[in-house]
Amino acid sequence: MADTQVPTVRVWAMPVGGLGEADVAGWRAVLDDTERARAARFAFERNRVEYIAAHALTRMLLSAETGQEPTAFRYVAGDKGKPAALCDGRRLAVHFNLSHTGGMVAVAAAHDLELGLDVEAVDRKVELAVADRYFFGAEADWLSTLEPARRTDGFLRLWTLKEAYIKATGRGLSQSLDEFWFEVEPPHIRFTSAIADDETGWRFHQQVLAERFLVAVGWRNGDGPEPTLAVETLQPVDLTF
């Protein structure tokens, strides 16, 4: 990517509900041995299909971002344990993050930008009490102001944003969820004194894809131009190698 170009945070999502292993056999072929072995360890076909689809979609997006073949990438543990991609033994400047839930897989990628991604079905069951126990107080208070019929949606808005942040930093669930909080509309992060970070450097975006999947992506801006965001929903027929 040339220095004069405006960076892009690219999100690709793909519904996979109803697919079986025969449908994803061609995608399995582009994975490396480690990925294929991991996929085989899942007990249920649905989980194997989602894993294969998510990792094949990741390879397709990395290929689009770098011009390399989808099979060219290998993965190592990068900063803070987050996966990083190698090509010909060189670590790529492309950061990526993937997520999947029942019926949907998604991946985000950007050059030289820390990012995180989460996707959840809007009709999934949630334990609202989790917010009272683990979220920052202002978030739990905000949820309590919503009409009962909207609280699941509100919880998922918060949950996916929080997941996007902790995946971007690489902390995962080792990060206490009450040390930061979100103003939801529009998404904006706030930090307690426990986190030495600059909230003005973070951007977050949420939207519903395929009518029932909530996607949240977050990234830390670099020193260059403000990145653009490109979100695309692919269909399984689009994933060809």
pLDDT, tens only, 76-133:
987 677 889 999 999 999 999 999 999 999 999 999 999 999 999 999 999 999 999 9
d(CA 198, CA 186): 18
Q: What is the dihedral of CA 120, 220, 81, 9, to 10 degrees?
A: 60
- What one-character DSSP code corresponds to residue 194? T
pLDDT tens digit sequence for 30-78: 999 999 999 999 999 999 999 999 999 999 999 999 999 999 999 998 7
Percentage of the chain beyond pLDDT 90 is 90
H/E element, 55: helix 45-66
pLDDT band at 169 (very low <50, low <70, confident <90, very high): very high
Query: Which pLDDT value is given to residue 144?
Result: 96
Q: Given a cut of 60, is residue 1 above it in pLDDT?
A: no
Q: What is the DSSP letter of 146?
A: S
**Could you give the CA distance from residue 60 to residue 71 in angstroms, rounded to a whole number?**
9
CA distances from 12 to 56, 153, 178 (A): 12, 22, 30
- What is d(CA 131, CA 154) in angstroms, rounded to the nearest whole number? 10
Cβ contact 216:117 at 8 Å: yes
Cβ-based burial of 32 (10 A; exposed 0-12, middle 13-18, buried ≥19): middle
pLDDT band at 4 (very low <50, low <70, confident <90, very high): low
Q: How far apart are CA 69 and CA 162, in angstroms?
A: 33
Return d(Cα 76, Cα 74) in angstroms, integer.
Answer: 7
Coil/strand/helix, residue 205: strand
Q: What is the distance between the alpha carbons of residues 234 and 11, in angstroms, rounded to a whole number?
A: 10
- Fold of domain 114-221: Ribosomal Protein L22; Chain A (3.90.470)
Query: Under 8 Å CB-to-CB from 102, ≥6 apart: which residues?
Result: 17, 46, 50, 121, 124
Strand order in the sheet with 202-209: 115-121, 213-220, 202-209
Structure tokens at 213: 């999947």
In 3D, which of 233, 213, 223 has the Cα closest to residue 100?
Answer: 213
Structural contact between residues 105 and 13, judged by C-beta atoms closer than 8 angstroms: yes
Q: Chain-wide mean pLDDT for the chain?
A: 94
For the chain, give every residue range classified as CATH 3.90.470.20: 9-112+226-241, 114-221
Whole-number pLDDT of residue 57: 98
Q: Which CATH architecture has domain 9-112+226-241?
A: Alpha-Beta Complex (3.90)
Q: What is the mean pLDDT of residues 7-23?
A: 96
